[in-house]
Every structure is written in structure tokens, then in C-alpha cells.
Structure 1
Amino acid sequence: MSDWSLAQPAYVLHSRAYRETSALVDFITPQGRLRAVLRSARGKAGSLARPFVPLEVEFRGRGELKNVGRMESAGIATWMVGDPLFSGLYLNELLIRVLPAEDPHPALFDHYAATLQGLAAGRALEPLLRSFEWRLLDDLGYGFALDTDVNGTAVDPAGLYHLRVDAGLERVEFFQPGLFRGIDLLALAEADWSAPGSLAAAKRLMRQALAPHLGGRPLVSRELFRKP
């Protein structure tokens, strides 16, 4: 059982008004994702309750809905606009939707913080997003091999494969929609984003892998990328 009363690093994933002067805030911490009530949200603490600000937070309470005991800035806020901002909001929504509450994933927290820094620094968006999606699935136990199929056979560069989300990649002999080329899968296994077709394949693959964990509801943040 995590001791939430101890100060720990955190980021706000989402915040909304709650009752008269409070806010209901979703946080990501090394000890997991949780929701807490922030009292007097219109004061100094409320100004910190926004995404992409590194925080140090103490929580109170043992139930699912906790209270913020203390919240202070722990660094410089990550500044993003345009597609990097939309990408950060996408990561936040993905964590809220997929990551179980109070399930510790300290390495995932570190990867999230590093991804925010990469977005703010102007690094290529697609590799950052695909790497984070893969890390999220892997940490939750839903990862699968990219260089071998469900039978343990090495992926053939000339082969065609489809994803069985409960098991992994399965080779097929006849073309059908949604398949992946072996050569693209092997590039992904090596994180070779320069290989032709690797980024497009990674995007399709992650969408298929994440779909069962999103409960059939689309991610609102994805729509931001489609607006002119």
C-alpha cells in the first residue's frame, strides 16, 4: 500500500471545477494515477493545477478520492503550443483512460516527464508518441514481441502479419485490410524511425493495440490534430 501522505513528484493530467471553490484534479505520480480534491483552487495552489508543471504533492485520505494536502512547484513548467501541446494533452487523456488508479509505475512516470521535455524541445512528434504508447502498453502487461510472431517464429521481412491484441503478431498468407509488413515490424523492433513506412505502421499498430483498452470511446484529444 502506497503512503500517499509522503511528498512525491507529480503532474496534473486534468483539472475541473468542483463545488464552489475547489477543483477535482487527476494526477500522475510514480505511485500511480489518482484523483484528489484541491481546496481553495482559486488561490496559489490553483494556479499550479494545470498540465505540464512539475510538482511536489502530498495527499491525504485513504479512499479513492483523496485531498491535496500540500502542492508546490518542483521545476519549470513545460511550455508547448500547437501540435506539441495537442500531443501533451493526448498523453494526459491516454493515461486517464488506460492507466488503472493507484497502480504504481515509476518508470512510466519518468518516461512521461522525459516525453514532455522532448515535445517542448521540438523533437519529432511521432516517434515520441509511439514510444510512449508502447511503453504504456508494455508496463501494463499488454506488450508483445515485434520480431517474433505468436508461435515464436522470427518475423519474415517479406511476410504479412495481423495483430491479435490478446497474443501478438500472427502471420497470414492472404492479404486483408489492416495488415503489417514484416519489414516494417522489424524496423519498429529496432526503433528505426527512419525506415520508410515505419512511422505509419507504428501509428496503426498502436491504435489497434490500444483500442480494446479505450472502451470503444474515441479520444477527444485526437480530434485536435484534425482541426485546421
Structure 2
Amino acid sequence: MPVTVEPAVSTLGPEPREDIAGSPVSAPAVAAPAQKRARTPSRERTIGTRVTGQPAFVLHSYPYKETSLIVDMLTRDYGRVALIAKGAKRPHSQLRGVLQTFQPLSASWTGKNELRTLTDAEWVGGMLPLEKTALLCGFYLNELLVKLLARDDAHPALFNHYVSTLNQLAHQEPAPIVLRKFERALLKETGVAADLTHCTGTRQKVKAGQVYVVDPERGPRPEQAADTWPRVNGKTLLDMEREDYQDTATQAQSKQLMRFLLAHHLGGAPLNTRQILIDLSQL
């Protein structure tokens, strides 16, 4: 995948009731409880179809007409959004040097359709750049988000996990462990991750010394002779649920399991960056 580096609250009172003779009698008026207006952060406001100062990262961008870009962004409170960056390819555009991947931005846009117009983007800073293998891992994260995350579906916790993952990669923490944690968090946030501590159907607890397979749609069950899905130890499943990847067997089996689960939820769509990382024996 190419990645460009460059309430309704009713104001009506209760319905009229009838007295014994059948004549309507108005119910006594009940004062509506006072509602406090939600306080918005000083750097972020939403006015109609305008959003300003939203924390964001560029996931992917591609050319649009002669001088513009369409930018796929991950935002904290609006999820993944598509924005037109008008004139961003012009040499003197203020957006040209700002719309870089893996850099924290403060983004503003207008519009209520699926494709909105980017009006401003400012570099926030405070993160180390990704280099070498960490950079490829970053592109892998972005490709996963673009292909698995629906647009306009907010996931603040996943946004925070993304920021944390980039920081861990930038500080050269073990990439396989960092990626396994993010993959699992992504499947949980999108609602397709099964509980790995109990067997599907029986709801019996997973036992560390038993071997299992994981149904992508239902969860773990004991292995059967005819199974072609990856076999994993119960200990691996329990380790993954508590995010403990120190055991080398857990690292190896979780890699194969997550590769299988992601392929299922991607519907067979290939991950270009994954293949590169596999070739480098990093994923």
C-alpha cells in the first residue's frame, strides 16, 4: 500500500390525563432538570460541521487532481476520517511539510460528507521519529488501521494505544511484542476479538497445559485431529490475554495465531508491509 511521506430532549410536558368524567385535565407542569453544558477543551471546538484542534495522525495520503491530496487521518474523537488537503502539493503550501506520517498533529476541517476539507494542520511535536525497522513497523500499523477500521467510528482508547505503540517503537522496544499487543487491541476495539480465557460453547476455563485452536468468529476450543487452524498452548492464550509475551513459545505461537486471525478479518486482503517484515524475519 503506497504511503506518501510527504440529544434529542422533548420539551413537551406529560400528556394530558382524563378525570373520572372523561374530561381532559392537564397534568401539572414539571420543570425540566437543568443540564450543564459540556465543556470543550480550549484547543478543540465543534461548530456545526467545523472541527478545530483535533489530535490526529496521517495514516495515508494520495494525489487528488493536480495540486491537492486526499489524506486518511486517525483522529482521537472522530476516528478515521478522509480529508481533502487543497493545494498541499504546491511548493509554498503550509500543509506540504506538515502532513507527515507518525507525527502528532492538531487538525481542523469542515464538511459533513464522508470526504471533508482540511482547513489547517499544525505539528504538535514531542515524539521521536521512527527509523529503520521501526519505520516499517509504523507503516504496518497504518495499513492495519486503514484496512480494518471503519471511517467515522471513534476509538479514543485505540488512538491512545497507537500513540503509545509509536513511542515504544521509537524507543526500540522489541517490535514483535509491541506489534502483538497492538494487533490484539485493534481486534478488541473493532469488536471481533474473542475472550481467550474461556472455551467457546462450553465456557470452560482454558487450561495452560492443553492445546487449542481459535475459531476467528467464536474463540478457543480444544484441538481436534482434523483441525487445520494454528494450534496454540493454553498458556499462550492466557499470556496473550494478560499481555505477557516474555515466554519465547508464547511469542512464536501468538505470531502465527495473530497472522491467522488478521487474515480472516481482512477477508484475504494482503498486507504489503507485513510481507516485507516477514521477509526481514521481524513479524
TM-score by length of 1: 0.93
> How far 1:114 sits from its partner (Å)?
0.8
User: Which residue in the other structure is 1:72 paired with?
Assistant: 122
> How far 1:215 sits from its partner (Å)?
2.5
Q: 1:5 to 1:189 in 2, by over 3 A?
A: closer
User: Which residue in the other structure is 2:210 paired with?
Assistant: 159
1:160/1:173 contact within 8 Å kept: no
2:274 corresponds to 1:222: yes
Structure 2 CA distance, aligned partners of 1:23 and 1:80? 23
Q: How does 1:1-228 map to 2 (within 5 A)?
A: 5-30=51-76, 31-42=78-89, 43-76=93-126, 78-150=128-200, 151-174=202-225, 176-177=227-228, 178-227=230-279
Structure 2 CA distance, aligned partners of 1:131 and 1:4? 34
Q: 1:44 to 1:136 in 2, by over 3 A?
A: same
How many residue pairs get matched? 228
2:218 is matched by which residue type in structure 1?
A: A
1:213 is matched by which residue type in structure 2?
A: H
2:63 is matched by which residue type in structure 1?
A: A
CA deviation map 1:131-175 (0-9, x unaligned): 111111111111211221112111122212111111111112437
2:127/2:167 contact within 8 Å kept: no
1:88 is matched by which residue type in structure 2?
A: G
SS at the partner of 1:44?
Answer: coil
Structure 2 CA distance, aligned partners of 1:188 and 1:19? 46
User: Which residue in the other structure is 2:25 paired with?
Assistant: none
> How far 1:210 sits from its partner (Å)?
1.6
> How far 1:40 sits from its partner (Å)?
1.5
> How far 1:189 sits from its partner (Å)?
2.5
Structure 1 CA distance, aligned partners of 2:164 and 2:50? 23
Q: Which has the larger radius of gyration?
A: 2
1:163/1:208 contact within 8 Å kept: no
1:15/1:50 contact within 8 Å kept: no
TM-score by length of 2: 0.76
Q: 1:175 to 1:199 in 2, by over 3 A?
A: farther
Q: 1:60 to 1:87 in 2, by over 3 A?
A: same
Q: 1:123 to 1:108 in 2, by over 3 A?
A: same
SS at the partner of 2:183?
Answer: helix
Structure holding more helix per residue = 1
SS at the partner of 2:244?
Answer: coil
Question: Which structure 1 residue ranges, 5 or more long, are not aligned?
Answer: none
Root-mean-square deviation (CA, aligned residues, Å) is 1.8
Percent identity for Structure 1 against Structure 2: 33
SS at the partner of 1:91?
Answer: helix
